[in-house]
């Protein structure tokens, strides 16, 4: 589904919409109504939304063009395991079907303070961890998955329902669905956006993710969330490290072919050089899984003890550590990952940023209605490093499905990653080019 062909305001980027609102060519109400119309026309098929805010039109009508706030009048979608006071937060779980939090999560409060309008809640895997899958499908091909766990967030932005959305990432739950759905997304450096009011899974990795249609929009959100300033890349040509990762033998043919083409695609602005990950990086995925499951044992213990009969077996497995990990291994994994982060950032000093695959390949298809298992292999290693990761869609004018490239930098250099991504985005996403 190519939303660029649609003249509806719902398909604008947030930055374009904000400029039109300020110029008087678009009202927040007209933008909101266009988004609601798109949802009404498409969401029966895409199934991105759990709840739509019944008061959002009245809220939009109250925003004036002169409002100086950076997101004034811009609709946003919120993953439904992030607390919202005006809408239920169900976690896609039978345990929380009527849950009404008393307060917004801080990340939602910050968006509202910037003038954003909460359009509604977006579908997710249960507790963004396992159990029930989101009902959402991929808007490019309804027979394919959108990626999880931020399924609704990626699909809603991709299909023109909303210009911005919040998701989360503990393994690959922002970057992988962004790649499968062909949208721009940032997994910020760990700890820069508060996860208070967001269902915890593994506190060493849990990160609020940002979905948008353009890097410019993510730069706007970087201002809203007060992400730290970072040194700019040196002027002139970029020097980018190409990291196929130790897992590249698991990449699908389309990703292998795309990586072979990157040097030519990016030749106008960048020189690509091989980037070797630190020694032992092939273990990062397993170390990540150990920490994630062991921290998950604490995160879901209360549900096992109090409402275990309604809780999916996935969460019993985590609490009982049926995966074979021990809590002692959990602490040993902390230490090994800490040393690996130091080694990685020393190697990053030789390049402006690192490029790596965002997913194994195209979004997988459902098989006889059954959702295939997803592989976070190309994401979890970077999540374990706690570094910022930007997904850039890779799609030509004749392509049916998107791929994704991750742009990665050192911790707290999210803005530098975004600035580099802004220089690369138009060379990789060529959907608007003449075919």
Catalytic residue numbers read 79, 149, 173
Q: Residue 190: is the preceding peptide bond cis (ω within 30°)?
A: no
User: Residue 343 and residue 380: Cα distance in Å, rounded?
Assistant: 17
Please report the DSSP string for 32-98 in residue order: HHHHHHHHHHHHHHH--EEEE-TTHHHHHHT--TT--STTTT-EEEEETTB--SSS---TTSGGGTT
Reading the block at residue 427, the tokens are 């060379």
DSSP code for 4: G
- In 3D space, the residue among 389, 393, 425 whose CA is nearest the CA of residue 407 turns out to be 389
- In 3D space, the residue among 254, 10, 267, 214 whose CA is nearest the CA of residue 119 turns out to be 10
User: Residue 288 and residue 388: Cα distance in Å, rounded?
Assistant: 16
User: Residue 135 and residue 149: Cα distance in Å, rounded?
Assistant: 11
In sequence order, the β-bridge partners of residue 138 are 141
Instruction: Report helix, strand or coil for 210.
Output: strand
Residues 6+ apart with CB under 8 A from 100: 85, 88, 89
């Amino acid at each position: 589904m190519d939303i660029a062909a649609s003249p509806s305001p719902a398909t604008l980027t947030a930055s374009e919409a904000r400029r039109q609102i300020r110029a008087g060519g678009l009202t927040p109400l007209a933008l909101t109504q266009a988004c609601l119309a798109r949802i009404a026309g498409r969401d029966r098929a895409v199934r991105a939304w759990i709840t739509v805010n019944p008061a959002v039109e009245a809220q939009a009508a109250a925003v004036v063009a002169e409002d100086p706030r950076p997101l004034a009048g811009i609709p946003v979608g919120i993953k439904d395991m992030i607390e919202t006071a005006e809408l239920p937060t169900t976690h896609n779980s039978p345990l929380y079907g009527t849950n009404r939090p008393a307060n917004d999560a801080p990340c939602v409060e910050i968006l509202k303070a910037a003038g954003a309008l909460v359009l509604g809640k977006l579908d997710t895997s249960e507790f963004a961890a396992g159990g029930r899958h989101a009902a959402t499908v991929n808007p490019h091909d309804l027979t394919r998955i959108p990626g999880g766990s931020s399924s609704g967030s990626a699909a809603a932005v991709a299909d023109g329902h909303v210009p911005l959305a919040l998701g989360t990432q503990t393994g690959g739950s922002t970057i992988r669905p962004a790649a499968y759905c062909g949208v721009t997304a940032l997994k910020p450096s760990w700890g820069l956006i508060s996860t208070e009011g967001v269902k915890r899974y593994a506190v060493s990795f849990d990160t609020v993710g940002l979905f948008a249609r353009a890097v410019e929009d993510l730069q706007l959100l970087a201002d809203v969330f007060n992400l730290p300033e970072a040194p700019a890349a040196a002027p002139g040509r970029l020097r980018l490290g190409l990291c196929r990762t130790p897992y590249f033998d698991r990449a699908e043919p389309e990703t292998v072919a795309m990586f072979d083409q990157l040097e030519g695609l990016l030749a106008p602005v960048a020189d690509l050089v091989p980037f070797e990950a630190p020694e032992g990086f092939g273990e990062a995925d397993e170390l990540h899984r150990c920490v994630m499951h062991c921290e998950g044992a604490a995160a879901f213990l209360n549900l096992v003890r109090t409402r275990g009969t309604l809780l999916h077996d996935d969460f019993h497995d985590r609490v009982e550590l049926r995966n074979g990990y021990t809590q002692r291994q959990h602490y040993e994994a902390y230490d090994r990952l800490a040393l690996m982060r130091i080694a990685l950032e020393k190697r990053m000093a030789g390049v402006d940023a690192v490029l790596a695959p965002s997913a194994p390949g195209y979004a997988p298809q459902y098989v006889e209605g059954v959702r295939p298992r997803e592989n976070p292999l190309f994401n979890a290693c970077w999540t374990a490093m706690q570094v910022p990761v930007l997904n850039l869609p890779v799609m030509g004018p004749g392509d049916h499905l998107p791929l994704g490239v991750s742009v990665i930098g050192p911790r707290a250099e999210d803005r530098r990653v975004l600035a580099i991504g802004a220089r690369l985005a138009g060379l990789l996403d060529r959907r608007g080019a003449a075919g």
